[in-house]
């Protein structure tokens, strides 16, 4: 058994001349256009074809999960999340 970290593939040798490769898709992370590091965000919510994220600077960002583009970014004025 061998794990290829670069390609995220697990290789299993079943017999002397038989090797089975299993891709590990769950180890991949998806980033959207204009997205910062994951630790910069406090909360994520997916609704329909959109992903919403609240960041530490009190901004609520909305991305399309179909295209990955940033749809909107607006400041939350009702609360201050900068200390979290």
Q: pLDDT higher for 51 or 28? A: 51
The answer for residues whose C-beta is within 8 angstroms of residue 2's C-beta and 6 or more apart is: 10, 11
Tell me the C-alpha distance between 75 and 6, whole Å: 38
Q: Are 1 and 10 in contact (CB under 8 A)?
A: yes
User: What digits encode the pLDDT tens for the residues 43-55?
Assistant: 999 999 999 999 9
For residue 42, pLDDT beyond 50: yes
- pLDDT value at residue 25: 62
Judge whether 83 lies within some domain.
Answer: no
Q: For residue 6, what is the domain's CATH number?
A: 2.40.10
Tell me the C-alpha distance between 25 and 29, whole Å: 9
Judge whether 81 lies within some domain.
Answer: no
- What is the tally of structural domains in the chain? 1
- pLDDT value at residue 28: 46
Task: Give me the chain's average pLDDT, please.
Answer: 84
Q: Are 22 and 40 in contact (CB under 8 A)?
A: no
- pLDDT value at residue 71: 95
Q: Is-above-0.75 flag for pTM?
A: no
Judge whether 57 lies within some domain.
Answer: yes
């Amino acid at each position: 058994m061998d794990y290829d970290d670069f390609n995220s593939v697990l290789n299993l040798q079943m017999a002397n001349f038989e090797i089975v490769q299993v891709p590990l898709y769950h180890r991949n992370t998806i980033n959207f256009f204009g997205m910062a590091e994951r630790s910069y965000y406090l909360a994520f919510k997916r609704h329909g074809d959109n992903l919403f994220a609240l960041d530490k600077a009190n901004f609520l960002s909305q991305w399309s999960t179909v295209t990955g583009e940033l749809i909107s970014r607006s400041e939350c004025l009702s609360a201050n999340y900068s200390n979290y």
